[in-house]
Amino acid sequence: MLVMFKSVGEMFANNPFLDNIYFINFLKQSKFKSLSEVLKLRKNKYDFSINIYPSNRSEYNIVNFVAGGKKRISHHYNHTKFSRAEFLNNILIDEVANQHNVLQNTEIAKKIVNFSDEEIEGMEIYLSDKDIADAELWIKDVNPEKRMLIGFHPGSALLKNHIHKRWAKEKFAKLGELLMKEYKAKILLFGNEFELNEEINSWMDNRGFIASTKNYMDSMARMRNCKLFVSNDTAFLHSAAAFKIPTVAIFGYTNHRELFPWKTKHIIVRKNLDCSPCFFNSPRPATCIWLGKDEFKCMNLLTVEDVAIACRMLLK
């Protein structure tokens, strides 16, 4: 596996189905250095190389080509153009609109091995014994009363203008106060947006707990103790699904039909607007057709009570 984020490498470090993980810091080093590091992978003489879905950028197709696989598999995207260099791959799979990302990726696997859709199960994250033991000690320390633990991820990536995926931080704080009052729950705040989490926690009178550290697997091991997870459309949302945690998924302009929490109990909270979803798998940053107070109203119109109702339903 080739990764461009250190945290992704950490997440897959204990996966028994991977032989090697290569980390190339594409975002923070020169293109020349990145290219030279990809060229070194050619010595492995791959039979197949795969661009996982979604990866609709020319850079991904160039990397797939340079890595030197005999058969290079990727998707032909509905929203693409010649400059994306899909032609550098020699096996292309048509993107299917409104199909879940898991199924888009299993279509890749079907080009290599035979299996039926009935065999597709939930996602998995493999933790080390140390990850689990350290998390249990931390949980005992912050929750000696053994109260219900509810996880929040109020952040999101910043690439491609995805800060607008975020439900309002003051609404997360109000939701936390409500759940602490109604269920005597303890709120765990996840994500590397530490200042954001500290601000939300301050609005909750510092009764929540910052659950993430700079080690991504601390987050994963602590998360698995939650009875409910509330998140924007982020990697944390899908990590919660991998641990089969009941999940409230807050969606704005991204496509909930392609990105709902896979094979876990969940409720999607979104506004059914004619303009939403409007974000497609392309390099273009997220934009909104509305201006002023209506900009990104798909997210801004969601109320605390909208999300609270979903939480109550899953906690029943």
Beta bridge partners of 269: 250
Contact assessment for residue 101 and residue 53, using Cβ atoms and an 8 Å cutoff: yes
Residue 186's pLDDT is 98
Edge-to-edge order in the sheet of strand 209-210: 209-210, 186-189, 149-153, 228-232, 247-250, 266-269
| Number of domains the chain is built from | 2
> Residue 113 carries which DSSP code?
S
Listed residue (16, 17, 58, 66) closest to 40, CA to CA: 66
Rounded Cα–Cα distance for residues 2 and 27 (Å): 14
270 Cα distance to chain centroid: 17
Residue 11's pLDDT is 93
Rounded Cα–Cα distance for residues 271 and 167 (Å): 12
Q: Are residues 174 and 272 in the same domain?
A: yes
Residue 283's pLDDT is 87
Residue type at 29?
Q
Rounded Cα–Cα distance for residues 60 and 128 (Å): 30
E strand intervals along the chain = 2-3, 22-23, 48-50, 71-76, 91-94, 149-153, 186-189, 209-210, 228-232, 247-250, 266-269
Residue 184's pLDDT is 97
Q: Are residues 115 and 163 in the same domain?
A: no
64 Cα distance to chain centroid: 22
Q: Are residues 253 and 299 in the same domain?
A: yes
Rounded Cα–Cα distance for residues 164 and 225 (Å): 29
Last residue of a domain, one of 119, 145, 166: 119
Last residue of a domain, one of 119, 142, 175: 119
Residue 282's pLDDT is 85
The residues, ordered by sequence, that sit 6+ positions from 80 with a Cβ below 8 Å of its Cβ are 56, 86, 282
The DSSP string of 53-86 is SS--SHHHHHHHHHTT-SEEEEEE-SS--GGG-G
Residue 152's pLDDT is 98
CATH code: domain of residue 93: 3.40.50
Last residue of a domain, one of 101, 119, 137: 119
Domain annotation covers residue 256: yes
**Domain extent at residue 170:** 129-315
Angle (deg, nearest 10), helices 216-223 and 129-142: 70
Q: Are residues 189 and 308 in the same domain?
A: yes
Angle, alpha carbons 110-266-15 (nearest 5°): 45
Length of the chain (residues): 316
Rounded Cα–Cα distance for residues 223 and 241 (Å): 11
Average pLDDT along the chain, 316 residues, taken 10 residues at a time: 94 96 96 96 96 96 97 97 97 97 97 95 96 98 98 95 97 98 98 97 98 95 98 97 98 97 98 95 92 96 98 97
